[in-house]
Amino acid sequence: MSRRPRALTAEQKAVVQAVRRIAKQRQRVNSNYVSAILRAREEGVTYAAIAAAAGTSSQAVQEIIRRHSPRQAEHPSSLSSAGDIAAVASPKVEDDKDNLNGPTLL
């Protein structure tokens, strides 16, 4: 059973308003940060150079780009359907009745 929240004092309300204001600022800064990283990468700047400028690791830059870049096609155009993908992914099995050890993977 959840507790009913207590009413905030005037001082607490002021602090909560400050938290909201700072959170909005942080959201704008984060958005600008991600946009700048994406823009730099689109211009051909290397991950290492972006990371050095941002004061972070190249792995962090790669992850930001992976998460925030427009999505690429889910499947390569040469594979037209899920059946094609399954056929490529599954190994070919030779079912030889004379084989005493069971089927052989080719």
- Residue 51 C-alpha from the chain's centroid: 17
Q: What is the pLDDT of residue 91?
A: 56
For the record, the structure tokens of 74 come out as: 């889910």
Q: What is the pLDDT of residue 93?
A: 55
In one-letter notation, the amino acid at residue 92 is K
The secondary structure of 74-86 as a DSSP string is: SS-TT--SHHHHH
Q: What is the pLDDT of residue 66?
A: 96
For tokens 């823009």, the residue is 39
Q: What is the pLDDT of residue 72?
A: 60
- Helix, strand, coil percentages (3-state) for the chain, rounded to 5, are 55, 5, 40
Digitized pLDDT (tens) for each residue of the chain, 106 residues in all: 577 788 999 999 999 999 999 999 999 999 999 999 999 999 999 999 999 999 999 999 999 999 999 876 555 555 555 555 555 555 555 555 555 555 555 5
